[in-house]
C-alpha cells in the first residue's frame, strides 16, 4: 500500500517571534513519535535543525548551508516561503538482499527557503523522519539567479549532545581501508593515523575528520550512526571533527584540479545526510534507512544475476603462491610474449578449470579469475598507467572462451575481473567493448579494482569525478546485463536499491590485509566493528572462509586473526549477495568444516540480530530465500564468551536438523585457531543453547527443516 497525505501549513508551523525576520519553528516526528526534528531560522535567517529522541535532544541546534564560489555563502538571511508536511508508506521487494520485503515508512517535512535580499536565491530542505532515524537533503530548485553552482564546501553541522563513545575511521579522500578506532569523541585524532604503513594504495587525510558510517554510543546507551544515502553526482562527505565543541561538520572530498568541490547545474538535490538511531546495537544492522532513502529500482528485471558463493584464483596471488602477471614485455606500446614467462602465472586455463570443478562439486555457484588479461607487468608503481591494461586480451596460457564454455558445461558462473589500476580514461574507453565481450560469453558479474592514485592526476578516489565514474560504470554495465563488485570503490550509500547490479564492494580493510600487512593483519575486533560501521552502508565483499589460518607454507609472518569457526560465521554475519570461499581449494579438500560453506545460503528472506555490542560481538540469524532453512553466525572480538541462544524464530510445530560448527575446547585465534567442534542436534522453536566462543572465535549453525 502506498499513500501520501498533505497536512495544511497552518497546523504545522508555530510562529515563535514577531520580529521583522520572523523566526519560525516547525517540527515533525517519526511515525512512532519517538524521533523528532525541529527546524527553525535563526535571528540571522540561518537554517537550523535539532533532533530529539523520546523528547531528549540528541542533535543540538545545528546550522545548514553552503560556501559557493564567487558568491556570498548560501547560509543566512533566509525566509520561509512554504512548508509542507506529508507522510509515506510502502513495502518494496529487494531482488536479493538481507530480507525480501522492506517497509519504507516516514513523515516528511519540506521547507522552501528564499534569501530576503540581493540575489534572492532559493534553497529547499527536505527531512524524512523514520522510526529508525532521519535523512535530510538540500534541494536547489530552478531559479533566476542561480544556474550553475560551484560548491566550495557544504556546511552541515551535527552538534552532538555529549562526549559519546565513537567507532571511527579517518576521513581519507583516497581510501577506506583503515582500521576502525574506538575513542571518546573528544579524543578523535584522524591525522595521527594519516601515514598508516599498511595501506595498499594512496591515502590523503587533510583534516581531523572521520569517514562515514561513523557510529556512536551516548552515555544513556543510545546508538547513533551518521552516513549518507544516494551519493550521485556529488562528492563523498567526510565529517570534520571539532573535539572542543563536540560537533561535526560536513567536509566534502575535493580535487587538486579545481578550487571547488562540487559542480552542478540547477535544479539538483544533494545526497541525503543520514542518522540512524537505535536503542539496541543490533537494530542498526536491521535498519533499512539507507536503502529506503534511495530511489526505487530503475533497471527492472535483473534476474540475469543470481546471488552466489564463489571461489577464485585470488588468495594464491596474495600469498605469493602464484602471480597476476605472466612475464610479457611491452614492445612499441603492445604486450608481447618474448619468451620471458616466469612460470608462476596463476590464471591458466588448467587452474581455472580446477576451480570450476571444485565449485561445481561443492555447491559453489561461481569462480573469479584474476590476472587473466595482459597488463599486470605494469600494474603497481607505474606513473603512466593509461593504456596498460585492456579488458579483452588474455595471456597466452589462458583460453577465455574455453574457460567460459567449460564453466557453462559445469553449471558454474564466471566472475570477470577488471583491474583498472585507477586509470579511469582507459577503462571508460573500453567499457562497452569489455562488457559486450562478457555478455557474449554469458558472464554476468565483474569485480573491478582501482589500485593506485587516480588518473587523471589530481582527482581522489572519493571526489565528484570518481563518484560519477563509479556510478556510470554501474549504469553502463547494466545495459550489458553485467553486475559490479568494485574494490577500492566509492562508499556504499544504498544505490543498490536503484541499480541492483551494484552487487557488492570492498571499501574496507578486507581479508587480503591478513596475507601481507606488516602490522599483523586485521585484529580480532575488526569484524565486530565492521558489522556496525562499514556494513551499515551496504554489502561487503570481505572474502571469508580461510581455513589454513596460519598459512606458514607461504608466509611465516602473516596469518588470519580469527578461529576457523569465525571464518564460517562470517558467511552469515557479513552480508553480500556474492560470498567468496577465499582459500586455496586444496585447503578445503577433506576438511569437514567445508560442509557449512556448501550448505550456507547467500540470499535471504529475513534477518534477525539475536545479540550484539559494537566492536565486541554479534549474532545474526538469516532465513534463506526459497527454502525453510535458517543459518546463524556469531563472532566475538578477543574476548572469549558464552551466550545463550534461543531459537524462538523457528516455525511452531516443526523440527529442524542443525549442524553446529563451534570453537573447539582450547580454541584461540592465535594459539589454536583451527580447533573446531562439529556436532549435529535437533532443534525446535522451544530450543535454547549455551554456546561458547573462543577469543577471536565464533560459531556457525545450519538449521535445515525436516
Ligand atoms: C585490490 C583488491 O582489493 C584485491 O582483491 C585484488 O586482488 C587486487 N586489487 C588486484 O586487483
Ligand atoms: Ca583493496
Q: Establish whether residue 325 lines the binding site of ligand 1, counting it when its CB lies within 6 angstroms of any ligand atom.
A: no
Q: Ligand 1 atom 6: the closest Cα is on which residue?
A: 449
CA 58 to CA 324: how far, in whole Å?
50
Backbone phi, psi, residue 298, to 5°? -100, 0
Compute the average pLDDT of residues 83-96. Answer: 97
**CATH architecture assignment, domain 3-292:** Distorted Sandwich (2.70)
Burial-class residue 207 by CB neighbours within 10 Å (0-12, 13-18, 19+).
Answer: middle
- What is the 3-class SS of 400-438, one letter each residue? HHHHHHHHHHHCCEEEEEEECCCEHHHHHHHHHHHHHHH
Backbone angles phi, psi at 27, to 5 degrees: -130, 160
Of the residues 177, 320, 449, 506, which should be mutated to test ligand 1's pocket, given the most ligand atoms within 8 Å of the CB? Answer: 449
What's the whole-number mean pLDDT along residues 292-317? Answer: 98
Q: Is the pLDDT reported for residue 6 higher than 60? A: no
512 is catalytic: yes
Q: What's the CA-to-centroid distance between 449 and ligand 1, angstroms?
A: 6
382 pLDDT tier (thresholds 50, 70, 90): confident
- For 585-642, write each residue's pLDDT tens digit: 999 999 999 999 999 999 999 999 999 999 999 999 999 999 999 999 999 999 999 9
- Report the pLDDT value the prediction gives residue 381, as an integer from 0 to 100: 84
Mean pLDDT of the chain: 95
Average pLDDT of span 546-563: 98
- Report in angstroms the alpha-carbon separations of 590 from 319, 362, 545, 587, 662: 21, 12, 15, 8, 18
Give, to the nearest 10 degrees, the angle between helix 464-479 and helix 424-440: 20
Question: What is the rounded (10 degree) CA torsion for 417, 423, 427, 428?
Answer: 150
For 446, how many CA atoms within 13 A lie in the half-sphere containing its CB? Answer: 26
Q: Which of 201, 346, 370 to mutate to test the pocket of ligand 1 (most atoms within 8 A of CB)?
A: 370
Determine the pLDDT at residue 199.
Answer: 82
Q: How far apart are the C-alpha atoms of 11 and 8, rounded to whole Å?
A: 6
Please report, for the chain, the start and end positions of each structural domain, with discontinuous segments joined by +. 3-292
pLDDT grade, residue 338 (50/70/90)? very high
Q: What is the residue with the minimal CA distance to atom 3 of ligand 1?
A: 487
pLDDT at 24: 63
Q: Which of 526, 594, 588, 591 is nearest to 562 (CA)?
A: 526
350 or 8, greater pLDDT:
350
Query: pLDDT of 123-150, one tens digit each?
Result: 999 999 999 999 999 999 999 999 999 9
- Residue 101 CA neighbour count, 13 Å, CB half: 5
Please tell me if the CB atom of residue 451 comes closer than 6 angstroms to any atom of ligand 1.
yes
- Residues 232-263 have pLDDT tens digits of 999 999 999 999 999 999 999 999 999 999 99
Question: In this model, does residue 413 exceed pLDDT 70?
Answer: yes
Condensed to tens digits (0 to 9), the pLDDT of residues 495-551 reads 999 999 999 999 999 999 999 999 999 999 999 999 999 999 999 999 999 999 999
The CA 421 to ligand 1 mean position distance, Å, reads 10
pLDDT in tens, 19-32: 334 456 799 999 99
Q: How confident is the model at residue 5 (pLDDT cuts 50, 70, 90)?
A: very low
Portion of the chain with pLDDT greater than 90, in percent = 94
Amino acid at each position: 500500500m502506498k499513500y501520501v497525505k498533505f497536512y495544511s501549513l497552518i497546523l504545522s508551523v508555530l510562529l515563535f517571534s514577531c520580529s521583522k525576520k520572523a523566526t519560525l519553528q516547525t517540527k515533525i516526528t517519526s511515525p512512532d513519535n519517538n524521533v523528532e526534528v525541529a527546524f527553525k531560522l535563526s535571528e540571522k535567517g540561518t537554517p537550523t535543525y535539532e533532533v530529539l529522541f523520546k523528547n531528549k535532544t540528541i542533535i543540538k541546534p545545528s546550522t545548514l548551508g553552503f560556501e559557493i564560489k564567487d558568491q556570498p555563502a548560501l547560509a543566512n538571511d533566509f525566509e520561509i516561503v512554504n512548508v509542507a508536511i506529508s507522510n509515506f508508506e510502502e513495502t518494496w521487494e529487494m531482488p536479493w538482499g538481507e530480507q525480501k520485503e522492506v517497509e519504507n515508512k516516514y513523515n516528511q517535512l519540506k521547507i522552501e527557503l528564499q534569501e530576503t535580499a540581493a540575489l534572492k536565491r532559493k534553497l529547499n530542505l527536505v527531512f524524512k523522519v523514520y522510526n529508525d532515524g532521519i535523512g535530510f537533503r538540500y534541494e536547489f530548485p530552478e531559479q533566476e539567479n542561480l544556474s550553475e553552482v560551484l560548491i566550495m564546501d557544504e556546511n552541515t553541522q551535527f552538534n552532538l549532545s555529549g562526549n559519546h563513545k565513537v567507532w571511527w575511521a579517518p576521513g581519507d579522500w583516497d581510501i577506506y581501508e583503515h582500521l576502525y578506532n574506538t575513542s571518546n569523541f573528544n579524543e578523535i585524532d584522524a591525522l595521527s593515523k594519516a601515514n598508516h604503513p599498511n595501506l595498499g594504495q594512496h591515502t590523503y587525510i587533510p583534516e581531523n575528520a572521520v569517514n562515514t558510517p561513523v557510529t556512536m554510543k551516548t552515555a544513556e546507551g543510545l546508538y547513533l550512526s551518521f552516513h549518507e544515502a544516494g551519493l550521485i553526482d556529488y562528492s563523498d562527505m567526510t565529517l570534520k571533527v571539532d573535539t572542543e565543541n563536540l560537533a561535526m561538520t560536513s567536509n566534502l572530498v575535493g580535487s587538486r584540479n579545481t578550487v571547488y568541490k562540487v559542480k552542478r547545474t540547477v535544479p539538483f538535490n544533494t545526497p541525503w545526510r543520514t542518522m540512524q538511531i537505535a536503542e539496541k546495537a543490533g537494530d542498526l544492522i536491521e535498519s533499512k534507512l539507507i536503502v529506503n532513502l534511495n530511489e526505487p529500482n530503475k533497471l527492472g528485471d535483473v534476474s540475469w544475476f543470481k546471488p552466489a558463493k564463489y571461489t577464485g584464483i585470488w588468495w594464491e596471488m596474495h600469498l605469493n603462491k602464484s602471480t597476476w602477471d605472466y612475464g610479457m614485455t611491452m614492445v612499441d606500446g603492445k604486450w608481447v610474449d618474448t619468451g620471458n614467462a616466469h612460470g608462476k602465472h596463476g590464471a591458466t586455463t588448467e587452474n581455472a578449470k580446477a576451480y570450476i570443478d571444485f565449485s561445481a562439486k561443492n555447491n559453489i555457484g561461481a569462480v573469479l579469475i584474476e590476472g587473466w588479461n595482459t597488463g599486470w607487468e605494469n600494474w603497481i608503481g607505474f606513473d603512466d598507467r593509461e593504456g596498460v591494461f585492456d579488458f579483452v586480451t588474455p595471456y597466452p596460457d589462458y583460453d577465455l572462451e574455453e574457460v567460459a564454455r567449460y564453466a557453462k558445461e559445469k553449471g558454474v558462473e564466471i566472475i570477470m575481473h577488471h583491474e583498472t589500476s585507477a586509470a579511469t580514461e582507459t577503462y571508460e574507453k573500453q567499457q562497452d567493448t569489455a562488457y559486450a565481450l562478457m555478455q557474449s560469453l554469458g558472464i554476468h558479474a565483474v569485480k573491478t579494482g582501482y589500485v593506485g592514485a587516480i588518473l587523471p592526476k589530481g582527482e581522489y578516489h572519493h571526489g565528484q569525478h570518481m563518484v560519477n565514474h563509479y556510478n556510470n560504470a554501474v549504469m553502463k554495465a547494466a545495459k550489458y546485463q553485467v553486475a559490479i563488485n568494485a574494490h577500492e570503490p566509492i562508499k556504499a550509500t544504498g544505490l543498490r536499491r536503484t541499480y541492483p547490479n551494484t552487487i557488492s564492494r570492498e571499501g574496507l580493510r578486507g581479508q587480503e590485509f591478513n596475507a601481507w600487512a606488516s602490522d599483523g593483519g586485521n585484529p580480532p575486533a575488526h569484524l565486530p566493528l565492521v558489522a556496525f560501521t562499514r556494513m551499515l552502508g551496504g554489502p561487503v565483499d570481505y572474502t571469508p572462509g580461510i581455513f589454513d589460518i596460519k598459512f606458514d607454507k607461504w608466509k611465516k609472518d602473516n596469518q588470519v586473526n580469527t578461529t576457523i569457526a569465525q571464518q564460517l560465521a562470517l558467511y552469515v554475519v557479513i552480508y553480500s549477495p556474492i560470498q567468496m570461499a577465499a582459500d586455496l581449494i586444496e585447503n578445503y579438500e577433506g576438511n569437514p568444516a567445508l560442509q557449512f560453506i556448501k550448505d550456507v545460503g547467500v540470499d535471504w528472506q529475513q534477518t534477525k540480530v539475536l545479540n550484539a555490542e559494537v566492536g565486541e560481538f554479534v549474532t545474526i540469524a538469516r532465513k534463506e530465500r526459497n527454502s525453510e532453512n535458517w543459518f546463524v553466525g556469531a563472532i566475538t572480538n578477543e574476548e572469549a564468551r558464552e551466550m545463550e541462544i534461543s531459537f524462538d524464530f523457528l516455525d511452531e510445530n516443526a523440527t529442524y536438523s542443525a549442524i553446529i560448527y563451534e570453537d573447539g575446547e582450547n580454541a584461540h585465534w592465535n594459539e589454536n585457531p583451527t580447533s573446531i567442534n562439529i556436532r549435529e542436534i535437533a532443534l525446535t522453536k522451544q530450543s535454547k543453547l549455551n554456546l561458547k566462543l573462543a577469543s577471536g572465535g565464533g560459531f556457525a549453525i545450519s538449521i535445515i527443516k525436516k
